[in-house]
Copies of this chain bind each other. A is one copy, B any other.
Amino acid sequence: MSTEPHLPQSETRDRILDAAERLFMEHGFEGTSMRLITGAANANLAAVNYHFGSKDALIQAVFRRRMTALNEARLAALDRLEAEAGGEAVKPSRIVEAFFGTALELAADAEHGGNTFMRLLSRTYNEPNAFVRQFLAEEYAEVMDRFLGALFRALPGVPRDEIMWRFHYMMGAMSFAIAGIESVYATAGLPCKEEEPSRMRPRLMSFLLGGLRAPLPDFGAAATD
């Protein structure tokens, strides 16, 4: 109150961030107007430009708010594993657990918006929006370097291309896991009850590890097929 200048962290700012996070997840960036955001946040239309400067800056703020914490948690988990291993290579399953488990924990937190954010993040992977992608790539740079490097060391016999692609596939599987199952199966007359959060983690993790451990593809045989 005394040392800090004047950063009441305006309650309005947070309401706008929460509303924007949810609406971006539901309708995308271009599909969400400032009037929709400020309306849902019970704020004046001009509030976004006052607090953030522009819509683009708001988008970045929405990501920055959670992304930093997520990536720090991931790096901390990897640090812990590498410290335990003490020079030895960390087991691949532990590395995968550290990366994707951290994300799933955030996605399981529905009360503080973690789930909303992870669904927004999943959605954003497939939106080649120029500056959002640039922003995400910068945020991910160190994390990717560390985790892929750990996997390279853990799987010295496996080509690095192969590891990167499998990691990429795992990201896709996680993305869909978080997005939920109702997307396509809803109208199909199939039972599609939503996943209980505590079941998602072991379910997905088993699949991911199965995929990671799969035998290497035989390009020679398949190329002529």
Question: A134 at the A/B interface (Cβ < 8 Å)?
Answer: yes
A164 touches B181 (CB 8 A): yes
Stretch of A9-17, A35-43, A57-65, A208-216 with 4 or more beta carbons under 8 angstroms from chain B: A208-216
In the complex, A162 has a CB within 8 A of chain B: yes
Residues on the B chain within 8 Å of A204, using CB? 165, 169
- A135 to B174 CA separation, bound complex (whole angstroms): 24
A219 to B208, CA, bound (A): 16
Closest residue of B by beta carbon distance from A140:
B184
Q: How many copies of this chain sit in the oligomeric assembly?
A: 2
Known: A30-B30, A30-B31. A141 touches B207 (CB 8 A): no
Q: Separation in Å of the A71 CB from the closest CB of chain B?
A: 12
Within residues 135 to 178 of chain A, which ones have a CB less than 8 A from any CB in chain B? 136-138, 140-141, 144-145, 148, 160-162, 164-166, 168-177
Contact at B165–A181, with CB atoms within 8 Å?
yes
> What is the minimal beta-carbon distance from A127 to any residue of chain B, in angstroms?
6
25 interchain pairs, CB-CB under 8 A = A28-B31, A28-B127, A30-B30, A125-B176, A125-B179, A125-B184, A126-B127, A126-B175, A137-B187, A141-B189, A144-B184, A145-B190, A161-B193, A162-B203, A164-B185, A165-B177, A165-B195, A169-B173, A169-B207, A175-B175, A199-B217, A202-B217, A206-B216, A210-B210, A210-B215
Which residues of A are in contact with B by a Cβ distance under 8 Å? 26-31, 122-123, 125-129, 133-134, 136-138, 140-141, 144-145, 148, 160-162, 164-166, 168-177, 179, 181, 183-193, 195, 198-199, 201-219, 221-223
